């Protein structure tokens, strides 16, 4: 038996349909990767993504007028103005001003990154901002006569260089800090503030024909708490650079951002979505600003990482989507035409809407949303379609799919009794927490092509959706309803325990109840939860999730036919041509160790293999190759199974990622070259990365990661 703590976490998760596990309400989007010395051997990992480089974006109306440039960073957010900057992290704010500065020159972005960002905030398209260029640095010119300041972010440090032209007076430079408390000098000449902030003793130098020449510089604290710079003699005919370095890695870092899903397009671009609570200031008359605090407002975000000629990934696109309330993207899908599809939930009555509506007004509480974005398009046209859907209570989308005709399907759960329905299979909410499914034709004037409740008289949640080539729709999830709508030819007609997984096939060309073609329970003598569903090219359907059942249906050719411990991951394949027969399952296996193992993501990979990702409490979770990662609390895992093999030989690859605290994988995607990309989040300070960089947020605060591995190398 596994620990009661682990069991209660799993049981509590399904007391109500809250899909985000016990590690809910998480933090900052960045990229990290496993250190090959401690997690994945270098021979098995092509590379991993270290923290995403910070960028600066120009203020084109998305922030208050005083802000000229903005940067979102692992340690917080930086707002650059004409005469100083404001650094915000969590509930703390530090103003850095150049006292007595003026007249002021222009503030300019320098070193373009080539990437761009967008803000689809609110329901007024005239207020949406798109195509905002990103820069590595910002230069504020002439803060004092002949003196510029250049802002940039390097690793865990906020840096600003004072560039002094020949003949300019360094004695005019006076730094004023507000929000950090009283300043003092330590024995090394570093500035120490009452709030714990430290600014290193300045480094000054000149570039000469013979190389860089150091110039001695130090701080002097005035009576009014301003800080002057004292610079030794130097060649006044040459420029001088003074480089104060602000260490802000552990000042706060409690923003709420989390990557929830990941996808790869056929060009090899990696797309990530989730929710973001980074600080955003908006001009007067628009939505209230989002605050940097754990329970603050959240927007959905979409990020794109694109490979260069060498295959290294870099940020190429970032956009936010939301309104005045909390907005969270849960799932993502991509197609071959460059479109990205998101679904999730919104509490914003002013959620940005584009295209014909699914319903006249915001339903109330929390509505589901669906969005269709093509980042390659210019202007406001990047947002092709965006609408909410829901009733008076809570409605959340957990699955999204698109068919070959461009119709969008999304599904999840609702507790609303007044959903707007169309050609429904089930016309009413039978059990409070009920599944729902919607088909949208975004180019139509009446886009609500199909909408239905689906479930029994107890809790029913749809967690995943897939569409077939013939227009059929497959739904997966979990149910506590004894009268869940299963068909007479079901593989399993009776529920095996209090909560079972389920698989449903709908044919939307048929009317009403006739659209239910197939429905079955999938489970054993304890809790069983399906989290993912995929169709393969050989007429099979893959279902994945996790189970506490000791008699979950497994096949003789499984990797593991006996449960390893408490909760194990399961992977099951159904032959779609044999759904009504006892031989419907062609492959089914357990995966896990002696503790609790929970799956969040599944994808089909090269060579007929299947990749699985989630988190584990098991100290004996199977790992292949290299040094194993020790388990102290939940660790992220990614595993690759080859169903053409049985027993131990079926485990083609398996690795854990993490540090000393909480680490969980939320999704997995594969490209044509066989590489796997895993999204997730960590609260650990020591999540290992290949470049040795440190986590910038506080221990216990979460930061998202992306890990790339090449199992065949």
Q: Tell me the pLDDT tens digit for each residue of 83-131.
A: 888 877 655 677 888 888 877 889 999 989 888 888 887 888 888 888 8
State the pTM of this model: 0.77
Task: Return the pLDDT at 242.
Answer: 75
- Is 547 domain-assigned? no
Percent of the chain with pLDDT over 70: 79
Select the more confidently predicted residue: 16 or 342. 342
Select the more confidently predicted residue: 437 or 189. 437
- The Cα–Cα gap between 623 and 654 comes to 5
- What tokens does 650 get? 């079926």
Total tally of structural domains belonging to the chain: 1
DSSP state, 315?
Answer: E
Q: What is the dihedral of CA 418, 423, 425, 429, to 10 degrees?
A: 0
Task: Return the pLDDT at 76.
Answer: 64
- Is 648 domain-assigned? no
Select the more confidently predicted residue: 529 or 78. 529
Select the more confidently predicted residue: 255 or 239. 239
Task: Return the pLDDT at 341.
Answer: 98
- The Cα–Cα gap between 78 and 67 comes to 10
- pLDDT of 506 strictly over 60: yes
- pLDDT of 43 strictly over 80: no
- Is 657 domain-assigned? no
Q: Which residue has the tokens 């970032």?
A: 318
- What tokens does 556 get? 């003789």
DSSP state, 354?
Answer: B
Burial of 435 (0-12, 13-18, 19+ CB in 10 A): buried
Q: What is the pLDDT of residues 633-683, one digit of tens each?
A: 788 999 999 999 999 999 999 988 877 777 889 999 999 988 898 888 777
Q: DSSP letters of 489-502?
A: T-S--S--SSSEEE
Select the more confidently predicted residue: 43 or 190. 190
- Is 157 domain-assigned? yes
Lowest-pLDDT range of 168-177, 182-191, 231-240, 547-556: 182-191
Backbone φ/ψ region at 271: left (φ over 0), alpha (ψ -120 to 50), beta: beta
Task: Return the pLDDT at 317.
Answer: 79
- The Cα–Cα gap between 138 and 57 comes to 9
| Interval 264-284 mean pLDDT | 71
Confidence of residue 12 (pLDDT cuts 50, 70, 90): very low
Task: Return the pLDDT at 513.
Answer: 92
- The Cα–Cα gap between 650 and 338 comes to 35
- pLDDT of 312 strictly over 90: no
Is-contact 203 217, C-beta < 8 A?
A: yes
- pLDDT of 613 strictly over 70: yes
- pLDDT of 290 strictly over 80: no
Select the more confidently predicted residue: 106 or 700. 106
Confidence of residue 521 (pLDDT cuts 50, 70, 90): very high
Mean pLDDT over each residue of the chain, to the nearest integer:
81
Confidence of residue 49 (pLDDT cuts 50, 70, 90): very low
- Is 180 domain-assigned? yes
- Is 558 domain-assigned? no
- Give Cβ neighbours of residue 538 (< 8 Å, ≥ 6 apart): none
- Is 177 domain-assigned? yes
With b for 16 or more beta-carbon neighbours within 10 A and e for fewer, the 171-196 pattern comes to: ebbbbbbeebeebeeeeeebbbbeee
| Interval 390-413 mean pLDDT | 97
Task: Return the pLDDT at 288.
Answer: 28
Task: Return the pLDDT at 376.
Answer: 82
Domain that holds residue 77: 67-114+135-247
- Give Cβ neighbours of residue 216 (< 8 Å, ≥ 6 apart): 204, 231, 232
Q: What is the pLDDT of residues 474-498, one digit of tens each?
A: 999 999 999 999 999 999 999 999 9
Task: Return the pLDDT at 629.
Answer: 66
- pLDDT of 15 strictly over 80: no
| Interval 151-164 mean pLDDT | 73
DSSP state, 4?
Answer: H
Q: What is the pLDDT of residues 329-379, one digit of tens each?
A: 999 999 999 999 999 999 999 999 999 999 999 999 999 999 999 988 865
Q: What is the pLDDT of residues 568-588, one digit of tens each?
A: 999 999 999 999 999 999 999
Select the more confidently predicted residue: 686 or 22. 686
* Longest CA–CA separation in the chain, Å: 91
Rg (CA), the chain: 27
- Is 643 domain-assigned? no
Question: Of 249-263, 349-363, 695-709, which has the strongest mean pLDDT?
Answer: 349-363
- pLDDT of 195 strictly over 90: no
Percent of the chain with pLDDT over 90: 47
- The Cα–Cα gap between 499 and 468 comes to 27
- The Cα–Cα gap between 112 and 102 comes to 27
């Amino acid at each position: 038996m596994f620990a009661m703590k682990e069991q209660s976490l799993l049981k509590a998760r399904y007391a109500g349909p809250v899909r985000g596990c016990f590690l809910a309400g998480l933090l900052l989007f960045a990229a990290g990767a496993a250190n090959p010395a401690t997690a994945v051997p270098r021979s098995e990992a092509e590379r991993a993504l270290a923290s995403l480089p910070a960028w600066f974006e120009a203020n084109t109306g998305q922030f208050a007028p005083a802000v000229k440039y903005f940067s979102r960073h692992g340690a917080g957010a930086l707002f650059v103005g004409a005469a100083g900057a404001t650094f915000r992290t969590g509930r703390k704010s530090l103003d850095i001003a150049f006292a007595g500065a003026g007249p002021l020159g222009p503030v300019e972005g320098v070193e373009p990154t080539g990437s761009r960002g967008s803000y689809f905030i609110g329901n007024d398209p005239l207020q949406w901002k798109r195509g905002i260029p990103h820069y590595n640095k910002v230069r504020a010119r002439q803060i004092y006569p002949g003196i510029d300041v250049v802002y940039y972010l390097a690793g865990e440090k906020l840096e600003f260089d004072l560039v002094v032209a020949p003949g300019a007076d360094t004695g005019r430079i006076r730094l004023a800090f507000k929000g950090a408390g009283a300043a003092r000098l330590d024995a090394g000449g570093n500035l120490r503030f009452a709030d714990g902030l430290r600014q290193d003793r300045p480094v000054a130098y000149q570039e000469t024909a013979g190389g860089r020449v150091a110039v001695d510089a130090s701080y002097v604290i005035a009576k009014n708490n301003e800080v002057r710079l004292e610079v030794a003699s130097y060649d006044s005919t040459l420029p001088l650079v003074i480089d104060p370095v602000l260490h802000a890695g552990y000042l706060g870092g409690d923003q709420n951002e989390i990557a929830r899903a990941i996808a790869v397009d056929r060009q090899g671009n990696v797309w990530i979505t989730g929710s973001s609570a980074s600080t955003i200031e908006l001009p007067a008359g628009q939505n209230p600003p989002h605050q940097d605090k754990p329970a603050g407002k959240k927007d959905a975000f979409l990020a794109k990482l694109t490979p260069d000629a060498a295959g290294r990934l870099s940020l190429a696109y970032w956009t936010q989507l939301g309104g005045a309330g909390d907005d969270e993207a849960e799932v993502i899908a991509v197609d071959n035409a460059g479109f990205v599809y998101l679904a999730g939930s919104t509490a914003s009555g002013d959620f940005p809407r584009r295209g014909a509506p699914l319903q006249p007004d915001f339903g109330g509480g929390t509505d589901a949303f669906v969005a269709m974005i093509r980042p390659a398009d210019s202007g406001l046209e990047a947002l092709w379609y965006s609408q909410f859907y829901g009733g008076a209570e809570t409605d959340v989308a957990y699955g999204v799919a698109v068919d070959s005709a461009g119709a969008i399907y999304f599904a999840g759960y609702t507790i609303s009794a007044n959903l707007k329905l169309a050609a429904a299979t089930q016309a009413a909410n039978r059990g409070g927490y009920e599944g729902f499914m919607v088909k949208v034709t975004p180019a139509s004037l009446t886009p609500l092509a199909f909408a239905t409740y689906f479930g029994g008289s107890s809790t029913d949640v749809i967690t995943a959706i897939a569409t077939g080539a013939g227009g059929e729709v497959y739904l997966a999830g979990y149910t506590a309803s004894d009268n869940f709508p299963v068909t007479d030819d079901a593989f399993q007609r009776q529920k095996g325990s209090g909560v079972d997984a389920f698989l449903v096939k709908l044919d939307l060309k048929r009317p009403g109840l006739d659209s239910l073609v197939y429905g079955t329970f999938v489970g054993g003598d304890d809790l069983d939860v399906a989290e993912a569903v995929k169709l393969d090219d050989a007429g099979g359907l893959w279902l994945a999730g996790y189970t506490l059942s000791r008699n979950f249906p497994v096949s003789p050719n499984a990797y593991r036919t006996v449960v390893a411990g408490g909760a194990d991951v399961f992977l099951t394949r159904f032959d779609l041509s044999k759904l009504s027969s006892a031989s419907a399952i062609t492959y089914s296996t357990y995966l896990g160790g002696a503790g609790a193992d929970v799956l969040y993501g599944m994808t089909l990979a090269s060579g007929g293999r299947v990749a699985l990702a989630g988190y584990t409490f098991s100290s004996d979770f199977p790992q292949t190759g290299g040094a194993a990662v020790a388990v102290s609390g939940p660790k992220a895992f990614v595993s690759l199974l080859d169903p053409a093999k049985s027993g131990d030989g079926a485990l083609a690859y398996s690795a854990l990622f993490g540090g000393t605290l909480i680490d969980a994988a939320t999704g997995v995607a594969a490209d044509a070259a066989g590489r796997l990309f895993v999204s997730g989040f960590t609260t650990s300070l020591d999540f290992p990365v290949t470049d040795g960089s440190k986590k910038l947020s506080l221990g216990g605060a979460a930061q998202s990661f992306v890990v790339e591995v090449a199992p065949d190398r």
